[in-house]
Structure 1
Amino acid sequence: MYTEIELKLRVRAADVSRLQRRRLIKSLSISPAVNQKLYSVYYDTGSHDLRLKDIALRLRRDGKRWVQTIKGKGEATAGLHQRYEWEVPVLHARPDLTKISDPAVLSLFDNARLRESLHPIFTTEFNRSKRILRLASGEVEFCLDRGTITAGDASISFSEIELELKSGSSASLFQLAVDLLAVIPFRLENRSKAERGYALAAGSEWLPQKASPVNLRPGMSLGSAFGAITASCLNHLLSNESGMLEGRDVEYLHQMRVAVRRQRSALSIFSPLFATDSNSIARELRWLARQIGSARDWDVFVTETLPLILSAFPQHSGMLALRDQCEQRRLHYASLGRGAVESKRYIKMMLKLGERISAESGSSLAGSHLRDELESDSREKSLEEFAGELLTRRHDKLKKHGRKLKGSGVRELHRLRIAIKKQRYAIEFFVGLYPDEAPRCYSQSLTKLQDILGKMNDVATMERLLGELPGCEDDLAVQQAIGVTLGWGACLALKKKRELGRAWKSFYKTDPFWQ
């Protein structure tokens, strides 16, 4: 058994020949390229019991020999995959569980029904070009894979690069990826071939993904906590990336925007504690937030707000014309957002964050390389103390905002909404440090406030977006429609402000669960 650490990069088939013409890979090679034709069969039960346990059982033919591989539960962040792997040669293309010598692995197959129900689920067939590269800080196995995944009558093709760490620090994988990005474009691939095969077999597309819980435990170091939180934010972002680029559903973009906001919040929480400068990452996150933020604002207005108003004025010609103009603006900003996510700048930012996470978690075959960046006074503080002080500080700030609630204007309410959002994100990050039910009432109160303030902010955003529409002053019907829309927004804002007062009183009575 060993821990496999590799970085997966999805490339276009058309770019492979360009990579092969460049000297980068050849100049780093310390072994000739070995070409293989690999055929693999993945086994599971009809109800995918192994997949539910995060286990993959694979039989792979390499030349005339078959190898049985079991891959255990692992993690993937910014394309970096870490998982346990067990391999053993077998005689035939059928699972032979008698070959398993590791008791921990054997226990995964202790169910007789499971063993008897194993059958092929999907196959992969691809050509692999493999060589060993020597880098400044270790050795990496470079694999270029091109082929197909097949499940029944369905199949998909793929071209990808796998950079597997053989020695040294995983930082070398990310630096090599940056060098490759100067040669060809690529996407970070967080899904393994097995995950794509299972999705193909199920006939399902990758649905919009919400943030997964952060697995923090009492006693963790601040550096490890930062790495775990950042990994959660990045996985949230990347799991919605393909759907957003394909324009399948506006919810993909929504979740990407939430992921960016969570990552910015995490950076603001931890960056004051680190000796190294985090401003460059913060700048890149602000850039991405601006690029996708405008697209999301138009999505909300066109797909959520306008339909409510149109339902009350279905035959109003000005409303229909306004909707068409707004839809064109929405498509324009959606295109700009996709362009940002498709850019090399975005990929470089993902690689930089991925490298930071791997450094904090000590992903290295040469031992832990956890950065000793925390200032001395911070290193003495436990994670529980750090979280409690942060939540208290932000809670006190919220109460100060609340004292001025009656006379608050748009800007003050916007600042309150941001403060509430930051407190909610912090609770989501640190919730694992507290008993299961402890944060429930406090979080529900914050959610209620955020929802109300969010609707009020939508009204303010709507006014700004309508002001961006060109040429409306020459169309009387559209001008009337804009007036109707603004009037509807003003009524909604008044209603929500009354709700805000009641929700704030409820929140004020809620005791902080961490004290």
Structure 2
Amino acid sequence: MKNAPVEIEIKLCATPAMLADLQSHPRLAGKGRSAQFISTYFDTKDRLLEQAGVSLRIRSASGKNEQTAKAMSLPCGTVHREEWTTPLTGKLPQIERFPDPIRARLHHILGLATIAPTSISQIKRLRRSVTAGDSVLEADFDTGTLRAGDQVETVCELELELVEGRLPDLLLLALDLPLGPDLQWSVVSKSKRCAWRSAAADHLARAAQPPVLSKAMNVAAGFRAIGWNCLYQLLANYPLVIATGHPEAVHQCRIAIRRMRIAFRIFRPCLPEAQRPRLNAGIKAAGRILGRARDLHVLQQRLRDADGFAGSQAVLAAVERALAQATHQAGDMLASSAFQRLLFETAHAIEVDHGPDQTGDGPLRPFAADILSQRHAPLLDADPRLDRLSRREIHRLRIQAKELRYSCAFFRSLWPRSGGKTFTSRLEELQDRLGRLHDLAVASRAADLLSPESDPILAAQIAADLECMLRADGVNRKKLLRQAEDALTDWRRARRWWMA
């Protein structure tokens, strides 16, 4: 019985031709051994295990069965997972055979809920032992099929597991591989990939979860936990954009990139100085492409919901054409070699040990309190009469509110007993009001978001229809300004929980 070793692994989805080529790649060369097995994955109808970051499977190979439970583990659930495996005699999981703490955790998650098979995979595996720097890894070349309900998914993956050594060596090895549309980093479960082809896609996008920090952490450890948390949100959503173009997945990818940019600004001294400009430029460019798709989706919804909008269908059709083009462009960008490399470059920058550093070695909680106070001050000093501010100044105020809100979410677990619900709810209300003003501003520059129209007469008519619609928004903007002023006033009365 394994005593919950921590598995450190990266999975790369490949095309069949790419996986065949990788078997002769010089970094993955060596003698191998083959195996075949069938794995059955279990969960409840409501996916309680998946939501808790836990997987439960039975694997059959060479006439023997074993059950395995895996759970996302600190410091980085993206690549770190605890693993428990026990022998099995039946066809259903026997939770009582697992040791604590996973047995108690499974009982807590499941309660009285019934588990059932969610997917079954049949895999052929070629395993090789390879070296990377001073580390030893196992490279598994997996091919086969996965069945979930009436959906069938082809499995073609390269799994790189760290046996001995350091995670940065594994990340550098991945950067030496031909990353791109045919070889992509994946943290998405096999059963979830099957669900993308069904109506279940509406609930597959994964929203941000707050990182778990402790008072014992130094600044460098806090950066590592928050950085991986942001990266996981991006990794969990970007394949859904590529596969389906789902608007919520686009939105979550954009949020993940915004959170990452804020984390990079907060922890700037913890990033390798030579890599900062390159990383920031790449992340900003990715956010800009996702932003256009997101803005067009918001505009599309606004046009559909507009009261009394009787403009020609040409306006909506033009927005929808531009949205389809922007979503396709976002998918191409996310699958590109440049973006796939950016993912691993970001992970390496988060994980690499930069050696002794005065800022990184300092305690996290005082550092966090200072950051929150710095983010708090500009909002506190803002002119309470928002109608006296320019659109650019209101936009900047919205960004400041967003940066404070994300920063609060990053550090909230460092003050578990200080309250702060009033502060958070009022800050969310302020950001929401300022966000609605931003949506109006996006609509006012809608012509810049649209793809160039080949017919100049049609383009002029679309611009006229949009102008008529936006003219009616004047009253709405005044109302939103008053609501935002009220929200700002209410928020200023809230107690700063990190000063407790």
> Which TM-score band (shorter chain)?
0.7 to 0.9
SS of the counterpart of 1:438?
Answer: coil
Report % sequence identity: 25
How does 1:433-452 map onto structure 2 within 5 Å? 433-435=414-416, 438-452=419-433
Amino acid at match of 1:354: A
* Residue 333 (structure 1) aligned to one of 312, 326, 331: 326
Q: CA deviation at 1:346?
A: 0.9
Aligned counterparts of 1:182 and 1:45: Cα–Cα separation in 2 = 35
Specify the SS of the correspondent of 1:180: coil
- Could you list the per-position Cα deviations for residues 252-294 of structure 1 after superposition, in whole angstroms to 9, with x for gaps in the alignment? 1111111110110011011135564423211111111111111
Residue of 118, 125, 128 corresponding to 2:125:
128
Check whether the contact 1:297–1:461 (CA below 8 A) recurs between aligned residues.
yes
Aligned to 2:457: 474
Q: Larger radius of gyration, structure 1 or 2?
A: 1
Tell me: CA distance 1:350–1:479, structure 2 relative to 1, closer, same or farther (3 Å).
closer
The verdict on how the C-alpha distance between 1:156 and 1:398 changes in structure 2, with shifts beyond 3 A counting, is: same
Q: Which amino acid aligns with 2:415?
A: Y
Mapped to 2, the partners of 1:160 and 1:457 lie a distance apart of 42
CA distance in 2, matches of 1:186, 1:420: 38
Q: Count residues with an aligned counterpart.
A: 490
The correspondence of residues 14-93 of structure 1 with structure 2, limited to 5 A, is 14-26=17-29, 29=30, 32-42=31-41, 55-64=54-63, 66-75=64-73, 80-89=78-87
User: 1:458, 1:49 → 2: CA distance?
Assistant: 35
- Match of 1:312? 308
Query: How far 1:119 sits from its partner (Å)?
Result: 6.5
Aligned to 1:372: 355
CA 73–259 in structure 1, closer or farther in 2 if over 3 Å, else same: same
CA distance in 1, matches of 2:111, 2:75: 30
Report whether the alignment pairs 1:214 with 2:217: no
| Structure 1 contact 185–344 (Cα < 8 Å) conserved | no
- 2:409 is matched with 428
Q: Is the contact made by 1:9 and 1:79 (CA closer than 8 Å) also made in structure 2?
A: no
With the length of structure 2 as denominator, give the TM-score of the two structures. 0.86
- Structure 1 position 110, deviation (Å): 8.1
1:168 and 2:161 equivalent? no
Worse-matched range after superposition: 401-410 or 252-261: 401-410
Asked if the contact 1:456/1:496 (under 8 Å) is kept, the reply is yes
Q: Which one is further off, 399-408 or 75-84?
A: 75-84
- C-alpha distance in 2, partners of 1:493/1:63? 69
Q: 1:402-425 CA distances to partner (integer Å, 9 max, x unpaired)? A: 367452111111111111111111
2:220–2:360 Cα contact (<8 Å) kept: no
1:365 is aligned to: none
CA, structure 1 residues 36+259, in 2 after alignment: closer, same or farther (shift >3 Å)?
A: same
Does structure 2 conserve the Cα–Cα contact (< 8 Å) formed by 1:71 and 1:83?
A: no
The TM-score with structure 1 as length reference comes to 0.84
Q: Which amino acid aligns with 2:183?
A: F
Partner of 1:324: 317
Q: Is the 8 A contact 1:254 1:296 kept in 2?
A: yes
1:390 maps to which of 365, 371, 375: 371
Question: Closer, same or farther in 2 for the Cα pair 1:44/1:340, shift >3 Å?
Answer: closer
Whether the aligned pair in 1 keeps the contact of 2:72 and 2:78 (CA below 8 Å) is: no
1:7 and 2:10 are equivalent in the alignment:
yes
Q: Comparing 86-95 with 164-173, which one deviates more in the overlay? A: 86-95
Stretch deviating more after TM superposition (268-277 or 233-242): 268-277
CA displacement at 1:45 relative to structure 2: 7.1
Give the match's secondary structure for 1:38.
strand
Q: CA separation of 1:438/1:487 partners in 2, compared to 1, >3 Å: closer, same or farther?
A: same
SS in 2 for 1:340: helix
Contact residue 218 and residue 360 of structure 2 kept, 8 A: no
Q: State the AA in 2 paired with 1:297.
A: D
Q: Is the 8 A contact 2:447 2:463 kept in 1?
A: no
Q: CA deviation at 1:312?
A: 0.5
> Is the 1:241–1:256 Cα contact (8 Å) retained in structure 2?
yes
Question: In the alignment, which residue of structure 2 is the partner of 1:498?
Answer: 482
- SS of the residue 1:514 aligns to: helix
Name structure 2 gaps, 5 residues minimum.
Answer: none
In 1, Cα distance between equivalents of 2:259 and 2:380: 22
SS in 2 for 1:214: coil
- Give 1:50 shift: 6.2
Distance in 2, matches of 1:170 and 1:307, equals 48
Counterpart-to-counterpart distance in 2, 1:268 and 1:256: 19
Distance 2:464 2:159 in 1: 58
2: CA distance, partners of 1:396 / 1:245: 40
Give the Å deviation of 1:348.
0.8
Q: Which amino acid aligns with 1:440?
A: K
- AA matched with 2:394: L
Is residue 2:329 matched to residue 1:346?
A: no
TM superposition shift of 1:196: 6.0
CA RMSD, 1 decimal = 3.4
- Work out the CA distance in 2 between the residues paired with 1:389 and 1:440: 20
Give the counterpart letter for 2:331 in structure 1.
R
Which range moves more in the overlay, 174-183 or 392-401?
174-183
The alpha-carbon deviation at position 20 of structure 1 amounts to: 3.5
Question: What secondary structure sits across from 1:401 in the alignment?
Answer: coil
- The answer (yes or no) to whether the contact 2:420–2:497 under 8 Å persists in 1 is yes
